């Protein structure tokens, strides 16, 4: 077994596009200052909130400084978004879809530029950054079709000469609070659908990835300028405590789509619930892969390495727990450690890199705290566990621990490439362990046995919002509804019928007779009228 001190980590650096050029593609100067607030179809020239520095996680160097919104400026933005909504809701849905089609095409044209910017500011490798832009393109395509399918139901009324029907109306200005790790795709799942549904947008991105949202906002402006959609996209960059809280409290924002930690979800539920508004919560995961003795182990190995090491363990769906059936456990862990040793760690813009840096110095601290806590609770370090000290930036080793399910730390989401390995005797024990954590986002079972696969997907199987067979925990497609149960928040975004959360449902009874019969046979007859 490879122990931490024996690990030879390959850190690659190679010439990449000049960082200056990557920023200039969106009119941003390296080291320069930009506005992080947009309303009514253009950027506010000088927002007066505190300046925010954004960093290149591969070096720790500052990329640019962003002028943020004050709470009062947020209020002005949501008023503007509400006015835009009142116009936009009157535009027929298929015409709204046409704007989303143009947006999708604009993202297609700028795919490389956007991916480079994501890779630069977020630190994910180019292939994943390209995939992130592709998700936006895909959800736009989905939303274009959806704009002709915002259907309601028709029910048979119990009353004669009555028709009972339900219809869906646009909702209002949707507040999109987004996380750093999917700075473009997850907000895109929201805005593409919401805009087709007739809503306007107020986007509050993560303070760790503001330039990506500014670049996207520029594309929104280019596409919507002088169209009936002008002003529907609005941006408020700033801290959670100011701009985030302002959105949560704003009566002009009837829906908050919040992506982030479970702690964020608690705050959003309280604040939004208090004013009778709605939330779509997409929160933390603690995702497990189960590998049974009869599994195709090559398949399982690739899925586990991608799930645990990919995106440097910074996906909500990252594989954090590996549950192995006893017969294959030792050999599988040895193969896993050998596979980890082949992972190129380095500059995310280099096409050969498989793992980039963590997002920030705080994230590196959280990784180190996690490693120390796991050790203190009895975890046995099998691989990695250290920061890579030989360069600037926020690089750590992908890490494997042999852990026990009763260690409290195994119930936490540590947002870093740390994998707990457990072994079990039976599928039932694996399901219990999978379901034993507070979160319920994604899960995957590897088996060639039909009975095991169906049991895993049955009501007594995985309790997660996503349950896969012979596929890992990461890498969902936009066609399905995405989201998780329990502390993950219960929200659903992207495909299937997730659009319903972005509209308001109205049930209508139409009486086309000359009597007024009451439901449930209730009699209420006036005698002397």
Q: Which residues bind ligand NAD (CB under 6 A)?
A: 177-182, 186, 204-207, 240-241, 244-245, 248, 259-261, 264, 267, 282-285, 316, 413, 415, 441, 484, 488
Residue 322 C-beta: closest distance to ligand NAD, Å:
18
Residue 484 C-beta: closest distance to ligand NAD, Å:
6
Residue 343 C-beta: closest distance to ligand NAD, Å:
22
In whole angstroms, how far apart are CA 174 and each of 198, 265, 280, 358, 462?
10, 16, 10, 30, 32
- How far apart CA 292 and CA 457 sit, in angstroms, is 15
Q: State which residue, 63 or 177, has the beta carbon closest to ligand NAD.
A: 177
Q: State which residue, 150 or 464, has the beta carbon closest to ligand NAD.
A: 464
Is residue 8 part of the annotated active site? The answer reads no
Is residue 21 part of the annotated active site? The answer reads no
Catalytic-labelled residue, pool 316, 410, 412, 464: 316
Q: State which residue, 283 or 409, has the beta carbon closest to ligand NAD.
A: 283
Catalytic-labelled residue, pool 98, 135, 282, 412: 282
Residue 182 C-beta: closest distance to ligand NAD, Å:
5
Q: State which residue, 114 or 324, has the beta carbon closest to ligand NAD.
A: 114
Q: Supply angle C-alpha 277, 476, 330, rounded to 5.
A: 125
- How far apart CA 246 and CA 183 sit, in angstroms, is 20
Residue 232 C-beta: closest distance to ligand NAD, Å:
21
Closest CA to 122 of 51, 60, 56, 34: 56
- How far apart CA 78 and CA 249 sit, in angstroms, is 11
7: tokens are: 């690990």
- How far apart CA 396 and CA 383 sit, in angstroms, is 12
Contacts of 60 (CB under 8 A, 6+ apart): 361, 392, 393, 394
Q: State which residue, 316 or 337, has the beta carbon closest to ligand NAD.
A: 316
Phi-psi category of residue 257: left, alpha or beta, with phi > 0 → left and psi -120 to 50 → alpha: beta
Q: State which residue, 104 or 313, has the beta carbon closest to ligand NAD.
A: 313
Q: Supply angle C-alpha 62, 64, 69, rounded to 5.
A: 125
In whole angstroms, how far apart are CA 459 and each of 126, 431, 456, 462?
39, 11, 8, 8
420: tokens are: 């707990």
Residue 266 C-beta: closest distance to ligand NAD, Å:
10
Which positions are catalytic? 282, 316
């Amino acid at each position: 077994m490879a122990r931490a001190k024996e690990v030879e980590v390959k850190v690659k650096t190679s010439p990449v596009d000049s960082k200056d050029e990557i920023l200039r593609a969106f009119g941003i100067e390296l080291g320069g200052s930009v506005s992080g607030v947009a309303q009514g179809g253009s950027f506010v020239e000088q927002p007066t909130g505190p300046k925010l520095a954004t960093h290149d996680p591969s070096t720790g160097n500052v990329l640019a400084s962003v002028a943020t919104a004050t709470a009062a400026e947020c209020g002005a933005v949501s008023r503007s978004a509400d006015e835009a909504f009142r116009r936009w809701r009157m535009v027929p849905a298929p015409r709204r879809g046409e704007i989303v089609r143009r947006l999708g095409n604009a993202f297609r044209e700028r795919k490389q530029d956007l991916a480079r910017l994501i890779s630069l500011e977020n630190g994910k490798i180019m292939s994943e950054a390209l995939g992130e832009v592709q998700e936006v393109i895909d959800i736009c395509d989905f939303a274009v079709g959806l704009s002709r399918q915002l259907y309601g139901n028709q029910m048979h009324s119990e009353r004669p000469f009555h028709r009972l029907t339900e219809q869906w109306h646009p909702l209002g200005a949707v507040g999109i609070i987004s996380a750093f790790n999917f700075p473009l795709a997850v907000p895109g799942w929201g805005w593409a659908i919401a805009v087709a549904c007739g809503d306007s947008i107020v986007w509050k991105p993560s303070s760790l990835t503001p330039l990506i949202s500014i670049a996207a906002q520029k594309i929104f402006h280019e596409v919507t300028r002088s169209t009936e959609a002008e002003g529907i996209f609005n941006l408020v960059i700033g801290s959670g405590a100011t701009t985030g809280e302002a959105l949560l409290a704003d009566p002009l924002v009837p829906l908050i789509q919040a992506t982030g930690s479970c702690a964020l979800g608690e705050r959003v539920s309280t604040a939004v619930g208090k004013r009778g508004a709605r939330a779509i919560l997409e929160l933390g995961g603690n995702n497990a892969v189960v590998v049974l003795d009869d599994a195709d182990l090559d398949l399982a190995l690739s899925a586990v390495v991608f799930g645990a090491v990919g995106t440097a363990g910074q996906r909500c769906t990252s594989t954090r727990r590996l549950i192995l059936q006893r017969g294959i456990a030792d050999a599988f862990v040895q193969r896993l450690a050998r596979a980890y040793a082949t992972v190129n760690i380095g500059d995310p813009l280099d096409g050969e890199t498989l793992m980039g840096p963590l997002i920030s110095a705080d994230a590196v601290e959280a990784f180190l705290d996690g490693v120390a806590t796991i050790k203190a609770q009895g975890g046995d370090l099998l691989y990695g566990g250290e920061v890579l000290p030989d360069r600037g930036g926020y690089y750590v080793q992908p890490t494997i621990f042999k852990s026990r399910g009763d260690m409290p730390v195994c119930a936490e989401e540590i947002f870093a490439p740390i994998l707990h390995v457990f072994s079990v005797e039976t599928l039932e024990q694996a399901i219990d362990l999978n379901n034993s954590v507070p979160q319920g986002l994604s899960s995957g079972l590897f088996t060639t046995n039909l009975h095991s696969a169906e049991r895993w997907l049955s009501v007594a199987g995985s309790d997660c919002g996503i349950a896969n067979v012979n596929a890992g925990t990461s890498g969902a497609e936009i066609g399905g509804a995405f989201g998780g149960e329990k502390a993950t928040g219960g929200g659903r975004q992207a495909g299937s019928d997730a659009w319903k959360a972005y509209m308001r449902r109205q049930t209508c009874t139409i009486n086309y007779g000359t009597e007024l019969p009451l439901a449930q046979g209730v009699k209420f007859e006036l005698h002397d009228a």
